Structure 1
Amino acid sequence: MPLSTGGARMPDSLARWSRSTVDGFTVYRRPATASAGEKDTVPGHSPDPVLFLNGCALAAAGWLPVIEQMPDRDVIAIDRPGFADTPWPGTLPDLAGELAAMERAIEGHPRVVIVAHSMASFRAEAFARLHPGRVAGIVLVDPSIEDYRFRGPAGRFSLATWLPIIGALVSREEIGEFVSWLSHQGFLRQTGSGRVLDPEAFKDPYTDPDTLKASIAEWLSYRSQAADLQSLRRRTDPVRARTSALLAPPLPGTRRSAILADSFADLVRHEIRDSRHLMMIDRPDMIVEAVDEVSAGR
């Protein structure tokens, strides 16, 4: 029986990788499929592994266009609870739990390069602040940039009221099919390449009730995770790891640009104007170049 990811057949390339599940988080590991000598690397030096962190409500399979262009790297990717045939735990995710999952995922590797899309930039920054020695570099792919100081009411009210209602509602098959169609239309608007989105990564997962519940829960946790990160910023130093921020239109304004600059001490901005939010689809080559950029000289 083929493996699946949230109700959709798992892409063959992902299914061939090593796979483990701890506390609902599914971790995929793909060893380098080409020798380091096939690219311009320091002789005798193995490049650091790359850890991919998905944006809100996205599956690890969405990174495949990027991963396929870096055969010289060990790769680690993560699907959150509710994806990859795991049950939704019935709670909102929080920043502490996400960081613990990252620690488990990179166990055995002294350092990694972190590639984080959208909301996952919260996790990348928090991990680098708490574990600076474990981070060889960071690539922020059209990151979420916030400085919320208050967690908001979402966590308190959602756990008590909204999540049980949502859980019951989205269990209906027709709701999942409608949300699957609706989300796919949204993804199409977030790409500018004209390529057909892989339905296994960007459409079908939401027909699975657990995946849909997990996606809504992650969206509801956005403000609380951002506020937890802001609290961490106030008591830790800016991130010192070399960081490349790949920004798609609409570009961040003055306030968000200042937040980004204050948070990362060694930051290079790249404006990728021919991409939209799903840059892994539009410009996977730029993400690969950014990984090499933050790894240079390390």
Structure 2
Amino acid sequence: MTAPHPPARFVRVDGVPLHVVVEGAGPVVVLSAGLAMAWFDWDPVAALLVARDRTVVRFDRPGHGLSAPAADPPGAAAEARRIAGLLDALGLGGAPVTVVGHSIAGFHAEAFARLYPERTAALVLVDSSVEEAPRTLLPAALRTGAARALGRAVTAAGLPAALGPALRGAAVRASRAGRAADPAARDLVRRCYRTGRVWRGALLENSRYPDTAAELLALRAAHPLEAPATVLVGHEGPPDDAATGWPGRQAALADALGARFELARPAGHLVMLDRPHQVARAVLRAAT
């Protein structure tokens, strides 16, 4: 029998209705998933945190999950302001929060911690995107226009309705240790991934990826990181391979941030699905 879905609501932030799930009681933890992912991808981690007396806030960025599309392309500072605005709208603007970002949302979470140090108890990056020297070959406006056009064409062709859930399932399997299946409820997957909105949102966010990475580098130079930080990286290989490749880049990021470094293994990119207990432990100990 499928577990009941947690209560959800829609909160308007900067004119965009955001889908939000708030559970539990206690210190606040904000969870933000990666590109094209949804609030339910945090289900295992959220349950563990709620059981440890945390208030867990999960939300879908514009164009993701059940949230409405964004009028403007995303950026690091803009997404940090969105998190702050969401907390204010929920009446959670008091005590500092632990902000957790997965993949590209790691850029947004770190930007929040730097721009709102008084509101940040801790920062946790879960297999976060890393760009040491982001470069672009085409102007941002051209990339954004192409992403919008492609999104409209894909939607008009009916591809999300025909292939969306299957593509989501394939992407999840490719991003998990041992190519494990997608644990998400089928009704939720269909509800989100059969719509062109989600694919348009992912294309738009991806089109501005290098700009967001460059913006974060500028924020690092201007705004020191005051909150304790943890970098958690997924790894499927033996421990002695963790000093090179992707884990090595994550370790370098941890050094640059003065953060605690943790290796989650075996885990693919979707660490929160492969190692939810380890992610929850990292969040719980992050502010201590």
In the TM superposition, what whole-angstrom CA distance separates every residue of 1:1-38 from its partner, at most 9, and x where no partner exists? xxxxxxxxxx8433x244423332515242426xxxxx
d(CA) in 2 for partners of 1:146 and 1:112? 26
What is the aligned residue count?
269
Q: How far 1:225 sits from its partner (Å)?
A: 0.5
Partner in structure 1 of residue 277 of structure 2? 285
1:135-284 alignment, distance < 5 Å = 135-150=120-135, 152-153=137-138, 155-192=140-177, 194=180, 196-198=182-184, 199-200=186-187, 205-237=192-224, 239-249=225-235, 251=242, 252=246, 254=248, 256-262=250-256, 264-265=257-258, 267-284=259-276
The one of 114, 122, 128 aligned to 1:129: 114
1:17-56 alignment, distance < 5 Å = 17-22=8-13, 23-32=15-24, 47-56=26-35
1:100 equivalent to 2:81? Answer: yes
- Given that 2:32 and 2:58 are in contact with CA atoms closer than 8 Å, whether structure 1 keeps it comes out as yes
d(CA) in 1 for partners of 2:99 and 2:74? 20
**Counterpart amino acid of 1:65?**
P
Partner in structure 2 of residue 74 of structure 1? 55
d(CA) in 2 for partners of 1:123 and 1:214? 16
d(CA) in 1 for partners of 2:36 and 2:214? 19
- Normalised by the size of structure 1, how large is the TM-score? 0.80
Q: How far 1:293 sits from its partner (Å)?
A: 0.9
Change (3 A) 1:62 1:200: farther
d(CA) in 2 for partners of 1:50 and 1:156? 34
**Counterpart amino acid of 2:37?**
L
Change (3 A) 1:292 1:161: closer
Q: Helix, strand or coil: the match of 1:52?
A: strand
Q: Quick one: percent identity of the two aligned structures? A: 24
- Given that 1:113 and 1:135 are in contact with CA atoms closer than 8 Å, whether structure 2 keeps it comes out as yes
Unaligned ranges ≥5, structure 1 = 1-10, 34-46
Q: How far 1:196 sits from its partner (Å)?
A: 4.3
d(CA) in 1 for partners of 2:72 and 2:162? 23
d(CA) in 1 for partners of 2:78 and 2:17? 10
d(CA) in 2 for partners of 1:117 and 1:25? 22
Unaligned ranges ≥5, structure 2 = 237-241
**Counterpart amino acid of 2:228?**
R
Change (3 A) 1:196 1:99: closer
In the TM superposition, what whole-angstrom CA distance separates every residue of 1:48-68 from its partner, at most 9, and x where no partner exists? 200011111111111111111
User: Which has the higher mean CA deviation after the structures are superposed, 204-213 or 248-257?
Assistant: 248-257
- Given that 1:91 and 1:217 are in contact with CA atoms closer than 8 Å, whether structure 2 keeps it comes out as no
d(CA) in 1 for partners of 2:165 and 2:58? 23
d(CA) in 2 for partners of 1:87 and 1:189? 27
Partner in structure 1 of residue 94 of structure 2? 109
Q: How far 1:200 sits from its partner (Å)?
A: 4.8
- Given that 1:62 and 1:201 are in contact with CA atoms closer than 8 Å, whether structure 2 keeps it comes out as no
